[in-house]
Amino acid sequence: MGPKITTNMSDDQVRVMLWMVPRSLATAVLRSMSNLDNVKLINEPFVCAASLGPDRVTSWNDEAIKILDKTLESLAGDASDHKQYTFSWVKESLLEAPYTGKDVVFCKDTSASLVGKLNCIPKGYRHTFIIRHPNKVYKSWKDVVTKLAAGEQESLGLDTMLKMSGAEGYGYEEHYRLYEHVISMGIETDPVIIDADDLQTNPEGTLRKYCEAVGIKYSDKLLSWAANQDAAEDWSMAELQLKGHKMVGTYTAAFESVGFKKADNMDPPARSELSDDILKCVDYAMPFYEKMLAKKIISIDNSTHRVRISCT
């Protein structure tokens, strides 16, 4: 549990950040939280600031940026709200807004989007993390990135494209470094970590413990929801991000889902099924994943426990 945070926000209002690596079922968690009463949901505002807004961070070469800009311009149409998504605007005007009358403010975002911007961590929030096995993360991530890539950039490996997007540590190192940062700065003494696999195999136990840890009143309503391709209409989310989803299906699985369904095979893809560029990301990420896995929250006998798991 983290220290009590004193802010000018309502003492009865709970604010939670769920930090993620992409493709870790975080959108399904947001769909789950949408069943809470009096909730404000915010989706990936720092992703927008880092990739689409005036403060965009990228290491793409000039030609690739021209191609990317042309693609975004064509996609945007009359969408323009992403132009206000500076890092400071996201922190001060979006995340730290009062939201009077809301019992819960819940936001999910990627840790990698805060590289070099840790001063923009919003005040008044509990900071939590979700993890997923790297073999699952990067296989799914490559599918999305390949669809988003433009022109000749499609031939680049996932490892190269992630570095060019600013994720030097392929997203997982940034995830772990943010986890370390909130501890070292006294923002959270023991940040809550949940595992995507646990959400699929034991959603009730995992969500009960998660809610207990962050101060959200648990309800069985969190376990199921209706399939809805327009689910994000009630979220605070840049229109261009939503258009991007409609183009490549970023959130399709989450929007078509009706709960945290257990897969027929929960094992991660075998290494033999993964391309060399994915394996490069996996091998780099695994030590960071294992450190966070050892700290994840699990449900045993209706109590919150931390377990250390040997992954050797």
pLDDT tens digits, 247-269: 666 778 878 899 998 888 999 99
Residue 4 pLDDT > 50, yes or no? no
Helices (H) and strands (E) in the chain, counts: 12, 7
- Using CB atoms within 10 Å of the CB of residue 45, give its burial: 0 to 12 exposed, 13 to 18 middle, 19+ buried: buried
For the whole model, what pTM was predicted?
A: 0.88
- Higher confidence at residue 242 or residue 71? 242
The string of pLDDT tens digits covering residues 88-142 is 999 999 999 999 999 999 999 999 999 999 999 999 999 999 999 999 999 988 8
- Higher confidence at residue 50 or residue 155? 50
Residue 38 confidence class, pLDDT cut points 50, 70, 90: very high
Q: What is the pLDDT of residue 309?
A: 37
Residue 218 pLDDT > 60, yes or no? yes
CATH architecture under which domain 14-306 falls: 3-Layer(aba) Sandwich (3.40)
Q: Report the distance separating Cα 203 and Cα 209, nearest Å.
A: 10
Instruction: Measure Cα distances from 306 to 73, 187, 295, 297 in Å.
Output: 47, 19, 6, 5
- The mean pLDDT value of the chain amounts to 86
Q: Report the distance separating Cα 11 and Cα 7, nearest Å.
A: 8
Residue 9 confidence class, pLDDT cut points 50, 70, 90: low
Residues 6+ apart with CB under 8 A from 31: 225, 231, 254, 255, 257
Q: What percent of the chain has pLDDT over 90?
A: 61
Q: What is the pLDDT of residue 99?
A: 97
pLDDT (average), residues 187-214: 96
Q: What is the pLDDT of residue 10?
A: 62
Residue 274 confidence class, pLDDT cut points 50, 70, 90: very high
pLDDT (average), residues 151-159: 68
Q: What is the pLDDT of residue 161?
A: 83
Q: What is the pLDDT of residue 44?
A: 96
Count of other CB atoms within 10 angstroms of residue 197: 21
Q: What is the pLDDT of residue 66?
A: 65
Question: What ranges make up the beta strands (E) of the chain?
Answer: 14-20, 39-43, 104-110, 126-131, 193-195, 297-300, 303-306
